[in-house]
A and B are shown apart, each in its own frame.
Chain A
Amino acid sequence: MSIRLFAGTSYASIRSMTTPVEISAYPPDGMEVRLIERFTTLKGRRILEIGCGDGRLTFQYAPTAREILAIDPDRLSIEDALDEQAALSVRNVTFRVGSIEHLSTRGAPFDVAIFSWSL
């Protein structure tokens, strides 16, 4: 399972039932991407995201990446990600249930690997 504080990113944010304030236990959108890009560019890159959860971070950088493989062992989180992907019509992301330990060593190499709150 991908984790925030080493726990899954599913249900990372919800809209409060009593107020119109959206509560999120994660950094504000865009912050992590800006920080990552201090070290490496994501634009046009082939990216492997490990511990993607429901795609909270994935969808933030997907518009600039060339291709993304995003994996998480938690099936429900991946189902949430796929629902969101369909809603957003994002075409360059492949979400997959699984862990890095079981990912095939074959295939085209990635430019960037992101351990998203999952190491």
Chain B
Amino acid sequence: MVHALRRAGQRLRSGGSLISIRPHETQLPLVSIITPSRRIPVTRLPTPGFDDRQSAADAALERVVAEGRFAITGIGNHRYRSVLDNPAQLRTYLELINPPRPRFPPSRRARLLELWRSRHPASKIEIAEWIVMTALRRL
């Protein structure tokens, strides 16, 4: 990863911007059931192997800054939500993500389905995700 950042830096003009968009390291995707009156959080979805990749990405960004190639100009965290009609659409949503995919912790998928079976008629499934955007300036 650090090599990729260095190579990108070689192709940027001085003062140019490097933007990294990636999933948030600690804010894992959150699955909830939403009704007209309330939101019922069900589970967060960890991604196997995700921590190592995130740590490597963070280390690479820190490395190129420490090397004096870039300066940090900003970091931002942002959330977005998708609202799905049913558990089948949630399955589709997760399948749209190439591996490694977020996964349900043990028993949490069953919990979701249990709650879904006893849902309010106007219920939906919400998945909230967080991204982190890091901006660097080439020195």
Which A residues have a C-beta under 8 Å from some C-beta of B?
1, 3-8, 10-14, 16, 18-19, 21, 23-25, 27-28, 31-32, 35-36, 38-40, 48, 50, 99-101, 103, 105, 107, 109-117, 119
A100–B131 Cα gap in the complex (Å)?
22
**Residue among B5, B9, B11 with the most chain A CB within 10 A?**
B11
CB of B86, distance to nearest CB on chain A (Å)? 8
Contacts of B82 in A (CB 8 A): 23-25
Contacts of B94 in A (CB 8 A): 25
Contact of B97 among A4, A16, A32, A119 (CB under 8 A): A4
Q: Is B10 an interface residue (CB 8 A)?
A: yes
Given A11-B96, A39-B133: A48 and B80 interface contact (C-beta under 8 Å): no
Is residue B117 contacting chain A, with contact meaning CB distance below 8 A?
A: no
The chain B residue sitting closest to A10, CB to CB, is: B98
Q: A23-B82, A119-B4 are in contact. Are A107 and B21 (CB under 8 A)?
A: no
